Structure 1
Amino acid sequence: MTEIDQSILNDVDMYHDENDTSNEDESVSNSEYTMESMELDNTISYKCACNFEDSEGEAHIYDSSRISTNTFTKAELMSIHLSQLMLQHRIARAAYRDIVQFINTVIRDHDDIMMEPGAKISHGETVDALLKSKSSVKGHEYDVCSSGCRLYGINDDQESCVDCGKPRYKTDPDQSQTPAASMKLMSVGDMLSQMLADPATRELLCYRANRESVAGQLTDIFDGDNYKQLVQQGLFSNPDDIAIGLYTDGFVNQKKGKNSYTIIHCIIFNLDPSIRRHGMYFDDISARLRPLEDFKVGNPSKNIYQPSIYTQLSTFSGSSFFALDELHLIARGIGKFVYDLITVTLTKETKFYYTHPDNTLNTTEYPFHIPRADLVTIGNCITSSRKYIPTSFQGSFDNVFAKIDGTRAVDWLYFLLYLVPTLVVPYLPNRAVKTALLSLVKGCALALQWTLTSELLDEMELYFKHWHSFLYQQVQNNTLSRSVFRPVQHYLVHIPYIIKQQGPLRCYSTRSMERVIGVFSKLIKSKSKGGRNASFLVERFAIHNYTSTAISICDEINLIWPKPYGRESYMDLPNDPSGAQLWEPFHQFVNLNDDSVEGVGGPSVKEALLKYYQRTTGLTGHEFGDSVVVVAARLWMDSTVYSSCINRNVIVHSWLVGTVQFYFQHVDFYGFPHFLAFVEVMKEHDAAGHDSSVPIVKQWSQSTHTLGHQTQPTYAVISVNNICHQVGLVQYPPNGNQFYVIAPYYIFNNNMRITKGNLSIL
């Protein structure tokens, strides 16, 4: 038995019920469980190691000598063993690839390594000690209460905790003051100074000082009024000044664990945004934000009994100083709230129903009522739509109506932005509630844009006011409980103001902090001293990050990497080197009259290509003979990789949706090269009946069969520059060939019906 066999058996044993007292030797006589009761369908052909002809007997000799005698090389055996270790320890595939590349580098450089004194690969503890000895980055150890109540300062002479009374020091016969518990803290200023000391990092941090704002646009936190006011006050005058945001959150790393942890996370705004990334009811939508004086001196009438500690900061600006987080407010807050509103028939929840004075519920006039059967239909459509969603959408698109366990914040966000306006809204009982919910979705979608203008902020504010006015009217009509006015609803009203003051919400999202929490949750192993464990991890990460900044380890050891993209792996246009690129693999086709180009007949490609030149140049009647067509698998444009996926295409101010079959380069009649896409175009394009801003398409026309054969697909050749968005398709419930169109964080025009395209323009 091999080691992997044994590990599999061990895994099976883990599921054995130790409390099961049944007799394992007892035979099972019930025919329901015997092998003889199983009937095999002999008409089904099952795959096996051998095939039998009708004239042959079903006999086959299995030769075990092929594997029982070792015929593997030593390298192959080591590879097999490594693969078994990966399975046994559940190592991710990405880590597996990195480990293989590292081992191959060690093999390549074996002779050089063995000439070094004490040559060996060290364990983690040894590496950490080595880096500490070479690095100036270190954590400072502090005494803490063994119950986690408090941290003792450097000059704190207390010998017991003032909260729980536990002694600060262990009982020691030698009378030495050994702390009962301790943890390490890192100086944020220390770590930022280390970053400034590195020339390459210091250059990246100059983004803040060098950027120029575009009038009328909000694209970063430095476009907000708060930052501009701080600059006018003389702050951030030095190009090396660093703007940071501090985030805090609590988390647990075990479902039933007793320990809870608090993370203080720092975002450095000086870096380019592309580097940064990853019971009370408020129905008064006109409520003002808390004035600055309440923070500085307190306001007992508002339960503010002492000044906020943050008022001591020179950058404190009042309510907007705390900003708003899109991940918790819009994604997990509003997204989950809308789900709760529409699933009362599924969850049997009654909190949103209006309660009459006699304690009976008004269920008949509930504005968000969707029958249980319709919710099941919506869930099935979500499941069937997953294959049409490109990877540019980060959500899982799981059926939340079947199971919500494990649903992430980003999944709730995608549910709100893409599934609610397409699948949910059509099932709502009347147009008023449909329009109100669509206003909420549009307002949230605008709030998540990276670039905003004052006009868009005004539009966003109107959407949120419409949504709140609808809810308020329903509460007044006794069809909805006042409990719908939760804090997350109230915060929506303040989003436009916060964006004006601090810039777009996406610039200071907590997504980065949530990713870090995910990392630490898995790495904290201690059950009794989790805080100390976490503090040592912080120091370890800081030292490794500093070392990686100071020394490019991968370059120094010349680590084996996958084959890099060379000049031969992509093509760009000679007159536009900064524009679109076609990426490998490439295939070359010469004769369009005979060749089949990626499964499409050459004549069809040639016809579509001729129509493309007629549309774009206005010339007609031109013919071209055998011309070289270089087909590419992928397109890179606007920092996005497009593969064989659904794309939205704009031609003559009309929109069309199609599936890109392949990309290719073609030289026109005058010798100029073009980057083109060969597209199978959807048969019908329109806007949804419940809202004209939701595009809808059909894969086939209503007459899918003509004279007994299937209608031929419609192909078109387009310039890659006419591709506007990588989109996904959400299945339309009544028709399996009809789909709603969605695009990541994009709001379509108000009336997509006006600009819809038709096949005649191709």
Structure 2
Amino acid sequence: MNIKDLLNNDSETRTSGHMLDDSFFVKRSNRIEDRIIAQACEKFNNRNKVATTAPMDFDKFLAAGNSNHNEAESMDTDDVQVESVEEINENIDYMSDNDYGYSRVRNPDRVYNAPVDHVTDYEHFVPTHVSNSRAQAVSLELFSMFFENNVSREVYDKCIKIVNKYMAELGSTKVDSLLSYYRVDILLKEEYPVKSVAYDMCINGCCRFSTVEEGDFIDEDETCPHCGEDRYKVERASVKPAQTFQIVPLSEQLRFELAHPEEWAKMAYGTRCLAGRREDVREDIFDGDAVGRLLDRGVVGQDDILVSMFVDQFNPFKNAKMASSVIHVINLNIDPKERYKAGNMIQLAIIPGPNHPKDIASFLELVLDDLRNLGANGLQFQTDSGLVIAKVHLVMATGDTPAVSDLMNLAHHNAHHRCRACFSYGARDSSTTCIVERDGPSLLRTEESLHQSVGGMYGVKGPNIFKDLPTMTSTAFFGLDEMHLLGHGTGQQLYVALGGKFCPTINDGGRNAHGIHLQDRLKHHRYPFALDVSLEDIDKAICASRADIPADFTGTWRSLKESNGKRKAVDWIDFLLFVVPTIVVDHFVFDRTKAAVMKLVTACRIAQQWRITAANIQEAEEAIGRCHAFLRCEIEEKRLKPTVFVTNQHMLVHLSYMMREMGPLRAYSCRPIERTIGVYSAAIKSRKKPGKNMENLLLGKAAIHHCLGCRPVICATNDRRTSNFEVASNDVAGPQLWSRPTRSSLAELAAAIGIECQDLVRSLVPFWAREGIVSFEENDEVVCANKMWKDSVVYRVRSSVDSRHGRANNLAVLDDAREYRFILKFFSQTVNRVTRLFAAIDCLSDVQRVNQDLFPAWDSLAPGVVKVVDVKSIKGIAGLVHDPNDEAIWHIIWPLLKYNQ
């Protein structure tokens, strides 16, 4: 081995990231060689700070790309140069304390100093991490952008050649050149050596076949027990499985990830929650009664890791019939603010289909075997501080309604006992199973019934695959997804109810009448959901409001009638939480309906909160009870069809139970998996071999997410005061003024916002009282801007809103959440070398409290008052909903806190 080998990035002896195995300890020469390489790289990396010229600046090059990758910024690292072999032996310390961002893995030599009993089980040790070079870090960032947008290998390589040629012309050295597709692919494999395991499955996606051990007899005539298709196919005189799917084991992914000190540090959140549970407030799944029981029974320890599993079905092709399923895991020990980022979530497998599995348990059995071992024996891995043993427990397995029925092994569709939580009986009405519960609520399914080994009663087809898990203590183990329940379920059902769907005296043909004529007919039949405006007027008001709804709202705010079957759950949730209480409730003909619907909105709004108290849960329970009592009364009076009580409507009864057991519904929402499915659907392009395409994406995305993670490329922050941003002197990392800041005098600023200069001065003086400032001159300069970034929200001034943006982020909510003001101008002022940020705002007057003080109404004709406030007093953004009857009346709404969008 010579010095050229050390410098060759493509050499087979390059610092490796392969998992340790027996050969690592047998072949001592390989061990010594790896150690020498690692020591050399670290030593030369340190020397490079003096020996090399300044590296190529990639910041401008990545500026456009970073807009789509907010979680990763650019990073400066040093390149490696070697002058003499003798320097290799000078560096004894193997670990690098460098935290420049992306990490490359290598085999740890510290294992050799560990106690003997630690070394005996080699699979518990994983590579440690060192920093990538600058070129590698930037190449990974670019590769991620190309990979996730399904750009071909050829296009990527052509782009890299163009960039490298441009950098060379600017005098960049060869070590700064970006990596080709091939070299990035090799780098990913070295950085993420976790391997997937392939299993045979039915070519139609029915089930997974049992594993054939090496040396066992292979039955070439074996067929699927569900569809009869052959397990094997013969190609060129060799027997091959007709179709396979791959699983990336959870234990291997966690072992590799948590060995990194940054990833292991994230587990501290879960440890704190398990050690200090609160009874009165629920902000996460740790605060629920279910986790409390597991702690009391000793099933879960305070240092353990809790995970949840999601199973959902998707079709990657719009114009073809195909049903693929993804198995998705979330590490609950990570703080919710970071938990739902792509780099922190785990995909175990994608079942390619093409049909929905008839035996989902056969696929999940492999995952459950791994989880049982993690729960009983724990996950073992090596860190800087020694060997870590952490048990991992599955505390929830969930998905949408069909997926949960599969997981619980319950009957689907129109089964009489189809509620996952209780033994309620559903009666048939017009080919629809409805659960009216005229005799009161039914008993909940017991823990014993979940662990039973036989089926045939209360809709249970047979034992579920989780029956032997000690963490399954109630039906809450199977979750309750707020997105499908409140969006596609409650919100959409209420919208179609406004169109008369549940009116028993008007058939489908009678509901074809348009506009107010339909509502007049519904009013004549005393239909409870009759309106004094047409449904078309409601849709027009929604569309007209779109330009005044900030991007913080997740819905599209377009007509719900135009594409009733294509609207997403978030559109229906926005309709339920914001449109109904502002412009629908007031237009119900009957007062009894107004009260009942507001109760429904109140309960659903509580279910959308991240922080709920015992009083909130009790309020939601009572609100749903009164709403359902109203519906049953209308059914008894023959003014409403019983089919309003479909399964989703019935499941609202169990909202309070789920929040007591598992905490806020947002903590186990299906939103993250739906977002993940969207990413995979966009990336899967192969129709000839979609299964192989899915396998490559599964491993590729896992590697990219690990490399990018949440670790930035550049960890050093720029001084915003010397760039195109304005920040306060005492809060450089705080709010920032954007959009080409310009210098103006106080007189010019006063004229721009429509007030006298002396009034502007009087507004500013109190903020500078500590500096002894009593007045300002008209010619004193300020720096004005049209945008502000604060708490991940971009605020715009009112005059800068362009119709092309479609959304206006210019109505600010101030400290007390009862003051709403349009933003006229942002500006910074510097006095005695101290810089502060201000906003000139137009206060809304004649704001009235309506609808149980939920959302106020504002008369837009009332004149406002211009004031100046410190930007720190701005606490959020609000939107305006137009009234369908009065164009001057706008309803003020604001979004809820969210982590998992």
Q: Look up the equivalent residue of 2:883 and give its one-letter code.
A: Y
Q: Name the CA shift for 1:148/1:638 in 2 (closer, same or farther; >3 Å).
A: closer
Matches within 5 A, 1:258-337: 258-277=321-340, 279-284=432-437, 286-297=441-452, 300-304=456-460, 306-337=462-493
* CA distance in 2 between partners of 1:605 and 1:121 (Å): 57
* CA distance in 2 between partners of 1:615 and 1:139 (Å): 61
C-alpha offsets along residues 154-200 of structure 1, whole Å, 9 cap, x if unaligned?
A: 237443114233333323564x3222333322212211111112222
* CA distance in 2 between partners of 1:384 and 1:299 (Å): 53
8 Å contact 2:743–2:784 — kept in the other structure? yes
* CA distance in 2 between partners of 1:700 and 1:586 (Å): 32
Q: Name the CA shift for 1:465/1:534 in 2 (closer, same or farther; >3 Å).
A: same
* CA distance in 2 between partners of 1:609 and 1:537 (Å): 60
Aligned partner of 1:143 among 189, 200, 212: 200
Aligned partner of 1:599 among 728, 733, 752: 752
Q: Look up the equivalent residue of 1:467 and give its one-letter code.
A: C
* CA distance in 1 between partners of 2:761 and 2:277 (Å): 43
C-alpha offsets along residues 272-304 of structure 1, whole Å, 9 cap, x if unaligned?
A: 111123732122262232111111125644133
Determine which structure has more spread, i.e. the larger CA radius of gyration.
Answer: 1
RMSD after superposition: 4.2
Corresponding position of 1:237: 301
Q: Name the CA shift for 1:548/1:393 in 2 (closer, same or farther; >3 Å).
A: closer
Q: Name the CA shift for 1:218/1:120 in 2 (closer, same or farther; >3 Å).
A: closer
* CA distance in 1 between partners of 2:866 and 2:159 (Å): 43
* CA distance in 2 between partners of 1:337 and 1:681 (Å): 38
Corresponding position of 2:265: 203
C-alpha offsets along residues 44-101 of structure 1, whole Å, 9 cap, x if unaligned?
A: xxxxxxxxxxxxxxxxxxxxxxxxxxxxxxxxxxx9xxxxxxxxxx9999999x9999
Corresponding position of 1:106: 164
Corresponding position of 1:677: 839
Corresponding position of 1:227: 291
Q: Look up the equivalent residue of 2:441 and give its one-letter code.
A: S
Instruction: Report SS of the residue matched to 2:881.
Output: strand
After TM superposition, give the deviation of residue 636 of structure 1 in Å: 4.4
Q: Name the CA shift for 1:692/1:141 in 2 (closer, same or farther; >3 Å).
A: closer
* CA distance in 1 between partners of 2:668 and 2:870 (Å): 37
* CA distance in 2 between partners of 1:547 and 1:677 (Å): 40
Q: Name the CA shift for 1:181/1:320 in 2 (closer, same or farther; >3 Å).
A: closer
Corresponding position of 2:8: none
After TM superposition, give the deviation of residue 399 of structure 1 in Å: 1.3
C-alpha offsets along residues 597-631 of structure 1, whole Å, 9 cap, x if unaligned?
A: 47224x535425526868999xxxx7654454443
Matches within 5 A, 1:373-384: 374-384=534-544
After TM superposition, give the deviation of residue 322 of structure 1 in Å: 0.9
8 Å contact 1:132–1:138 — kept in the other structure? no
* CA distance in 2 between partners of 1:439 and 1:699 (Å): 29
Corresponding position of 1:698: 859
Instruction: Report SS of the residue matched to 2:463.
Output: coil
Aligned partner of 2:786 among 620, 633, 653: 633
Q: Look up the equivalent residue of 2:607 and give its one-letter code.
A: A
* CA distance in 1 between partners of 2:268 and 2:459 (Å): 42
* CA distance in 1 between partners of 2:219 and 2:147 (Å): 47
Q: Name the CA shift for 1:342/1:572 in 2 (closer, same or farther; >3 Å).
A: same
Corresponding position of 1:734: 885
Segments of 5+ residues of structure 2 without an aligned counterpart are 1-63, 65-145, 342-431, 512-520, 798-808
* CA distance in 2 between partners of 1:744 and 1:330 (Å): 16
Q: Name the CA shift for 1:574/1:615 in 2 (closer, same or farther; >3 Å).
A: closer
Corresponding position of 1:725: 876
8 Å contact 1:250–1:262 — kept in the other structure? yes
Corresponding position of 1:17: none
8 Å contact 1:168–1:180 — kept in the other structure? yes
Corresponding position of 1:486: 646
Instruction: Report SS of the residue matched to 1:474.
Output: helix
Instruction: Report SS of the residue matched to 1:143.
Output: strand
Q: Look up the equivalent residue of 1:220 and give its one-letter code.
A: D
C-alpha offsets along residues 521-561 of structure 1, whole Å, 9 cap, x if unaligned?
A: 22333435433432332123223334445998x56xx9xx9
Q: Look up the equivalent residue of 1:224 and give its one-letter code.
A: G
271-280 or 452-461, larger mean C-alpha shift: 271-280
* CA distance in 2 between partners of 1:473 and 1:616 (Å): 63
Matches within 5 A, 1:580-619: 582=737, 585-590=740-745, 592=746, 594-597=747-750, 599-601=752-754, 603-604=755-756, 606-607=758-759, 610=762
C-alpha offsets along residues 114-168 of structure 1, whole Å, 9 cap, x if unaligned?
A: 9589x996457x8546644774222222222333333223237443114233333
8 Å contact 2:191–2:707 — kept in the other structure? no
TM-score by length of 2: 0.62
C-alpha offsets along residues 230-285 of structure 1, whole Å, 9 cap, x if unaligned?
A: 2233344364x321111111122234423211111111112111112373212226
Corresponding position of 1:658: 821
Matches within 5 A, 1:328-347: 328-344=484-500
Aligned partner of 1:154 among 196, 211, 215: 211
Instruction: Report SS of the residue matched to 2:756.
Output: helix
Matches within 5 A, 1:405-484: 405-484=565-644
Q: Look up the equivalent residue of 1:232 and give its one-letter code.
A: D
After TM superposition, give the deviation of residue 489 of structure 1 in Å: 1.4
Across the two proteins, how many residue pairs are aligned to each other? Answer: 622
Aligned partner of 2:233 among 170, 174, 177: 170
Q: Look up the equivalent residue of 2:247 and give its one-letter code.
A: L
Q: Name the CA shift for 1:615/1:172 in 2 (closer, same or farther; >3 Å).
A: closer
